[in-house]
Chain A
Amino acid sequence: MDWQAIGLSLRLALATTLVLQVVGMPLAWWVAFSRRRWKFLVEAVVALPLVLPPTVLGFYVLIAIGPRSPVGALYARLTGGLLPFSFAGLLVASVLYSMPFTVQPMAAAFGSVDRKLLEAAWCLGVSRAGTFRRVVVPLARPGIATAAILSFAHTVGEFGVVLMVGGNIAGVTRTVSISIYDQAQSLDYSGAWHTSLLLVGFSFVVLAVTYSWQRRAWMLWPPH
């Protein structure tokens, strides 16, 4: 079993989830509460990775972070490194790829917080940021947890994007899905079988725990 690839996938999923919590939360807040007329455009862009083939995303990411693009050139000037075929490059791709899995559950959770509670907090003189931190986030906690778990699980299961931008370097970009693909391609069916089984078990446990935990969470904080 390719433990190195399994470890890498877990690290990538964890990093992606953390970045998405930070980046996704304000975006979800904006999506939930903004009244701009062009909000639907932002929502559509955020949801694009749900419908685009990962190959499309991977292909564009490879070109966008390559040394010939402005983004890639800027990164090279700042860090001296290159994004393609690196962990940072995979992280960029994964964050884009899992964005809807963070923003959508979070925005739904934020949106379902009772507006009266928000207005009450404002009337009591709590700032908008304070209201968000002390009223919205506690009430939306199940949604935030769902966002984190779905992003994590989705990144562990990522394949097409990694295949397009990763370059299959052991310990750097060879994630567990790529490792299984390699095993199957080189006819190592028993290896592919074992790693796949582990992944099926892992995914099942993560989702089962999420759903059971959410049910309890909903009992503590019933939806209105």
Chain B
Amino acid sequence: MKPRRGACRRLALWLAALAACAGWARAAGAEKLTVAAAADLRFALDELVPQFRAAHREVDLAVTYGSSGNFFAQIQNGAPFDVFLSADVDYPRRLIASGLANRGSLFLYGVGRIVVWVPAGSPLDPAGLGIHLLEAASVRHIAIANPQHAPYGRAAVAALRSLGVYDRVSPKLVLGENIAQAFEFVESGAAEAGIVALSLALKPGARGRYWEVPQDAYPKIEQGGVILSRAPAGPAAQFRTFLLSAEARRILKRYGFAEPQ
């Protein structure tokens, strides 16, 4: 029994030392900046974040992706984020109204677009069928983001209604927790089609075809960001300026975000 207890203790010490090292390595970096970003930004930010890091070596930037509504609720309950990049400008506005975000730091960084998306192996042709692709009998499930709390989900439902197919296709709808999960449902083959963000359909390595839903078929998905009150002033403002730069706008455009007016 005795030697075994010794081994356990040694293992515990090792683990503690390892944990301490990991903590120290992080703390040794510069000022931390934590960004909560809507899931549709993932691939654009994959390209943008290294550029920001290269230009601002003194900032330790970390990005978390999720549904905007989820982040909104978390921030209201004290989540430790510094910048919030929402898929819907309404959430940042409400955070400013409740004093959790800096008045005057609100900025629009893009306008989201939605597409009907099918995986590469699908026999259906989105370009020819348009929205009516969703009515095809071989489409049994249509993945969208949850309209209760994801802006892209609300846009998808609005588009289905205004294009007059909602009643026929609503029994087929399956809801992703955010737009990235809706995309995953289609990409994995579990759903035959989906209404997803153009930014995801354009991601590197995406194998599928899409039809863009006319932008007048749904309320504009104005994507807005805001700096939260608890943020370190310098790095947060630098990140905001960077996202509004011509170079960042060019990349965002390439990933399917229209320019905000």
- Measured CB to CB, the residues of A under 8 A from B are 62-63, 65-68, 82, 84-85, 163, 165, 167-169, 173, 182, 184-187
Contacts and interface: CB of A to CB of B under 8 A. Distances in A.
23 contacts: A62-B188, A65-B190, A66-B189, A82-B140, A84-B141, A85-B174, A85-B190, A167-B143, A167-B176, A167-B190, A167-B191, A168-B146, A168-B174, A168-B175, A168-B176, A168-B177, A184-B73, A185-B67, A185-B73, A185-B146, A186-B148, A187-B69, A187-B72
Given A66-B189, A169-B173, 20 more contacts: A66-B188, A66-B190, A68-B188, A68-B189, A85-B141, A85-B174, A85-B190, A85-B191, A163-B177, A167-B185, A167-B190, A168-B176, A168-B177, A182-B149, A185-B70, A185-B146, A185-B149, A186-B69, A186-B149, A187-B72
A89 to B, nearest CB: 9
A62 B190 CA distance: 7
Majority secondary structure of chain A interface residues (helix, strand, loop or mixed): loop
A167 B142 CA distance: 10
Contacts of B67: 185
A192 to B, nearest CB: 10
Contacts of A167: 141, 143, 174-176, 185, 190-191
A67 B190 contact: yes
Interface string B59-80: 0000000010110110000000
Interface string B196-229: 0000000000000000000000000000000000
B188 A63 contact: yes
